[in-house]
Amino acid sequence: MSIKSSRQEGRNAFPFERKNYMFFLVGLGLLALGYVLMSGGGVEDPNDFSEEIFSPRRITIAPLTVLLGYGIIFYSILKRFPAEETPV
């Protein structure tokens, strides 16, 4: 098989493998979880102050979860897994 024919076969394939999509979905899930963890802590009256917005969950855990999610998404886009063999 020549290089030219393998390139032509590669053009018809999907740009990512199944593992890439799985990592991408895990990253999206972590992003959603991080943003949910960041939410809340507000008050109804704008003149009141709530210390709840400075909880460790909103200041530390949630941003780290979001960064981990973006890191996994970045990894899923750049990582080249070997092509899975399809049965003939």
> Over the chain, what HEC string results?
CCHHHHHHHHHCCCCCCHHHHHHHHHHHHHHHHHHHHHCCCCCCCCCCCCHHHHCHHHHHHHHHHHHHHHHHHHHHHHCCCCCCCCCC
- Assigned domain for 7 exists: no
Alpha-carbon span 86 to 88, nearest angstrom: 6
In a domain? residue 34: yes
The yes-or-no verdict on residue 26 having pLDDT over 90 is yes
pLDDT at position 41? 79
Q: Would 72 be classed as within a structural domain? A: yes
Residue 3 domain-assigned (yes or no):
no
Answer yes or no: is pLDDT of 75 > 90.
yes
The tally of domains found in the chain comes to 1
> 10 in a domain, yes or no?
no
- The answer to the question of residue 20 being in a domain is yes
Range of the domain at 49: 16-78
Domain annotation covers residue 86: no
Percent of the chain at pLDDT above 70?
80
